[in-house]
Structure formats: structure tokens, C-alpha cells
Chains A and B, each alone.
Chain A
Amino acid sequence: MSAPQHRAQRRGLGALVLAGSVVFTAALLTALLFQGWQALAALWDWAVATNRGALPEHL
């Protein structure tokens, strides 16, 4: 019994699904890096500002 392979449909679906996954992962990582960068920037802004205030006046 040679079952039909549905080759075209499987390939079409596979290409679609893989492309979707790649795009999704890329978008996720980009967002992650961007957010991380933002968080770092905020952290250092806060650290520098707080540091200036924390030093004793006469130093």
C-alpha cells in the first residue's frame, strides 16, 4: 500500500511553520536584548545619580 506522501502540502506547511518560528524567535530575542539594554541603562543612571548623592559633602 503506497500511501500518498502529501509532499507539497507537508513542505508548504513546514516552510510556513519554520519561517514563523524563526521570525518569532528573532523578534523575541531582539525584544529581550532591547529590554536588557534599557534595563542596564536605567540601572547605571540610577547608580551614578545615587552615588553622587551618597558621597559625603566635604569629599
Chain B
Amino acid sequence: MRSEGCALPALLGGLVGLPVLVVAVLNWPIVVAVLLTVLLVAGIVAVTLGALVLTWLYARSVHAVLFAGGHPEEPSPGPGEDPAHRSYHGGPAWSDLRAVIGGTWRVSAPWTLLLAPHLALYAGAVAVHQCAAWVCVGALRAADTALLVVRRVRMVCPHCFRRLGYPAYACECGRCHTAIRPGRRGIWRRVCLCAARMPTLLLFGTADLHTVCPYCTHTLEHRPGEAPELVLPLFGGAGAGKTRLVNGLYRALEQGAEPVPDAYADTVGEGARQWLGEARTVLRPSTRTVPTLPGHPVRGLTVRVGAGGSTLLLQLYDAAGERFTRASTVGELGYLGQATTFLLVVDPLGIDAVWRPLGPAERGKLAPVRSRTRDPELAYTQVLEEVERRVGAAVRRARLGVVVTRGDLLRDTSIAPEGPGQDALVYWAEHTLGLGNLLRSARAHFGRVRVFHTCAVSRPNGEVDPSVSHLLRWVLEGRPPAFGALVEAPELLDGAV
């Protein structure tokens, strides 16, 4: 004990302090408890206040972004992106989260780290929302794709001949949507930058929109995606009879659909209307078709055929014969890589082996309708090479119809076939027309080969010759039977060609 102090206050202090000190020392655990209690309570109050303030700041930021419209501006679509607004799951959800974190950080800086659980909760909610949205996107796209596969829909652009993964669509404002399917810009619907709503899938009715080719941006008037397409290229030398045959095929369909309720065969688009609209006139025996211009761009002529509740989009390709003589011009015909049925059109009169044995009288009569093409094999070889170049071994799955035209002119001549049966026609093609090599090569390369002898001239009563319907029935093989029924030709069974 120290008692060296002599000043009065110190003495007084010592007198009062001493007993307190003694009591304190004797009851030290109580003293420790009091001190700790004060510390603890102060700490709890501080933490509570801190937590409340931080939560308040965070809530204010959330409110500002999500309720008060303080969310970040949506970035406008970059080049190559579709002109549609983003869906909430396609970006804004994450940028909102970033904005909330940024807003909180600005007012509470490093203390924001203490809000980690809140932010984790927010991020978790966004993640769940994202998962749900993208699962929907995937499921819808899968369902739509499955439907296309089940309906055997393959879409080919009749202008640039490319196969479309999916059509593109133009909004009324003129903006073109090339990737309309569900994604970051919409699940069921999307909103064009002009605020127009558009469906996102064929399933939801995109076919009602203005459809365009995503590659060449040509308008596609045939509502691609709704029905299977049948790409049918005709090829052969100049003057072989392709244009007349195309008209015959269309007329045969139109005529077959006339008596059947609910059946129809309509041309689609301006090109097809121009080329096929006059089919009835073109097929008259007195009409001479105009040679197709080799410089004219080739376009698929689309015919929409409906029967028995099914629809088929027939794409007929009729290029000028001159195009099939050189590899460079054949190479431009991209549709050759999209077809599985081909028609080689042959003018029998052009072939020297046919022409030579004819008598002068027959020659005189037939000379005006004889084409300049002497060797059908030239076009055949070029096209076969091109098809092989484009599809490789898949050419084995394709069919080739060798169509010998001018049946009406050959009837009753010395070079007419013996009968309408396939065996007789093949024998005739090999021995009279000299197409043995061609047919052998065709059988070696194509999956199926068949010879036809057509007469693309209407009968006196205006009807299409049954030989054209017969060819058409073969073309439509493997399609719903209602289509084949349209071109049933009972006369043929009697043996008439």
C-alpha cells in the first residue's frame, strides 16, 4: 500500500477510493462481467444498426433499379443481330443485378461485401429465372424442329437454291428478322424495334408473316415450313421439251384436282404465275413454246398442291438447255444438290440414230420439231457430275426419270416404241434411241431409273395426255396417296401411251 501523497485532494481520493478498490478487487469477477456486458451490448447495438442500415441501402438500390425505372438502357442490337428487343432473361436480368450491386457499392463501398448473402439470394433468383426461361426456349425449339422432321419439311429457296435452316421474316416496318426462333429476344413472341409483336416459331404462326430467304432476302411467298417441299429439276438439251413438260405436269395436277373437293394445285408467286399460268394454251398442239433464255436467272416454279388434308410444295426447275452443256453453267444450278428426283428430258428426234433411218416423208414432217441436241448424254454427264460433286454418294438415294418427249409425233412412225410397258420402253430406249450407255451409267449411279415416253400436248378435248399423269404419279411416289390419286390415269391401264 502506498501513502506517499501529501496533497489534500489525493488524500481525500485515497480515502474514498481505497474502500472501492478493495471491494472491486475482492469482487473482480463481477467487475469483469460488468465491463464485458457493456462491451457486448454496445457491440450488439452496433451490429444491429449496421445491418439495418446496410439492408436499407441495398433495398433502396433494388427499389431504384427494379421498381423506379432506374434500370440500365437496353443495348441496341449490334451488326448481325436481329432487330428485336431483348427479353428479360436475355440480358436485362443480369444487367439489373449489376446495377443493383453498383448502386449499393457507391453508397456503402467495402461494407457491400457484408451484403453477400443478400446478393447471393438475388443472383440465385435470377439464375432460377434464367434456367426456367432457357429450358422453355430449348423445349420449344426442339418441339418445332421435331415437328419439321416428322412432317418431312425441308426448305429450299427457289431463288438462291440454298437449304434454309429456318426462314427469315420481315416485319411490317421493313426490318428483317433472320433468327426469329426462341432465344434471348423472346420465348413465345418477340418485339420488333418498331414495337410490333411477332410469333417466334412456325408452331405459333410465323408463316403468316412476310417470309424472306435469310441468304438472298428474296420474298418467299410459299409459306415455307408448313408443308414438305419436292424439288424437281428437269434437265436436257436445248429444245428437248422441258418447258412444255413442266407445263404439262402442272396442268395434269390442276386437272386432277378439279373434280376432287378440297383438292387444289395453285401456282405460288409471280414467277410461277408467269410460267405456268398459260399452261392450258401452251399445251395446245398448235402452240410452239418459246425457247427458255439461257441468260435468264433460273427460279423454282412453286406449285402448292393440296389433297386429302395434306399439302405439298412442288418446286419445278426448268433451266434453258444451253446451261447443261458446260460445267461452269451447270455449277450455278444449286438446286441440283437439293433434289432426290431428277427428270432427264430427251428429244428422240434430235438423236442421229433415230433420225437416220427415217424416210424422207417422215423427215419432212418432223424436221420442224426436231431439236438441235444430238446427244442427250452431254447434259446427263454434266448434271451427274454436278450432283455427285454436291451430294457425293447420296446420289444413290436419288431417282432419275428418263423422259422421252414427242410421244404424239412418234406415234404411228417407224420409230415408235412397241408398247407402254417399262420393259418395252427400256428396250426401245436402248436399241432404237441408242441410250444404252446412258441407262447403264444411270443405273450404276442413281438408286432408281425409269424410262417414260410422254406427249406434252393436250388432247382434242383439252385434257392432258395420260402419259404426263403417269410420269407425275411416279414423281409423287412416296408422298401421301391422296396426291397420287389426283393423277390416276385409268386409260393407261388399257395400254394407251
Q: CB within 8 Å of B: which residues of A?
A: 1-6, 9-11, 13-14, 16-18, 20-22, 24-25, 28-29, 32-33, 36, 39-40, 43-44, 46-48, 50-51, 54-56, 59
A24 and B51 alpha carbons, distance in the complex (Å): 11
Q: Are A11 and B85 in contact (CB under 8 A)?
A: no
Q: Which A residues are CB-close (under 8 A) to B87?
A: 6
Return the 9 tightest CB-CB contacts between A and B, nearest first: A14-B66, A47-B33, A50-B29, A6-B88, A47-B29, A9-B88, A51-B29, A3-B74, A10-B66
Which of B33, B55, B85, B93 is in CB contact (< 8 Å) with A25? B55
- Residues on the B chain within 8 Å of A11, using CB: 66-67
On whether the beta carbons of B125 and A17 are closer than 8 Å, the reply is yes
Which of B27, B59, B88, B118 contacts A51 (CB under 8 A)? B27
The reply to whether A43 and B85 form a contact with Cβ atoms under 8 Å apart is no
20 pairs from A and B in contact (CB 8 Å cutoff): A3-B73, A3-B74, A9-B93, A10-B66, A10-B67, A10-B96, A13-B125, A14-B63, A14-B65, A14-B67, A22-B55, A22-B59, A25-B52, A25-B55, A36-B40, A36-B44, A43-B33, A43-B37, A51-B28, A51-B30
A47–B36 Cα distance when bound, in Å, is 11
Residues of B whose CB lies within 8 Å of any CB of A are 26-30, 32-33, 36-37, 40-41, 43-44, 47-48, 51-52, 55, 58-59, 62-63, 65-67, 69, 71, 73-74, 76, 85, 87-88, 92-93, 96, 117-118, 121-122, 125-126, 129, 191, 193, 195
Residues of B within 8 A of A56 (CB): 26
> Tally of A-B residue pairs with Cβ under 8 A?
106
Contact check, B33 vs A20: say whether CB atoms are below 8 A apart: no
A-B contact sample (4 more), CB < 8 A, given A32-B48, A47-B29, A55-B26: A10-B71, A25-B55, A36-B44, A47-B32
Asked whether A24 lies within 8 Å of B117 as measured between CB atoms, the reply is: yes
Nearest to A9 among chain B residues (CB) is B88
Q: Is the CB of A5 within 8 A of B69?
A: yes
Asked if A24 and B47 make an inter-chain contact with CB atoms under 8 angstroms apart, the answer reads: no
The minimal Cβ–Cβ distance linking B173 to chain A, given in whole angstroms, is 12
Query: With the chains together, A16 CA to B88 CA distance in Å?
Result: 16
CB distance from B142 to the nearest CB of A (A): 24
Residues of A within 8 A of B51 (CB): 25, 28-29
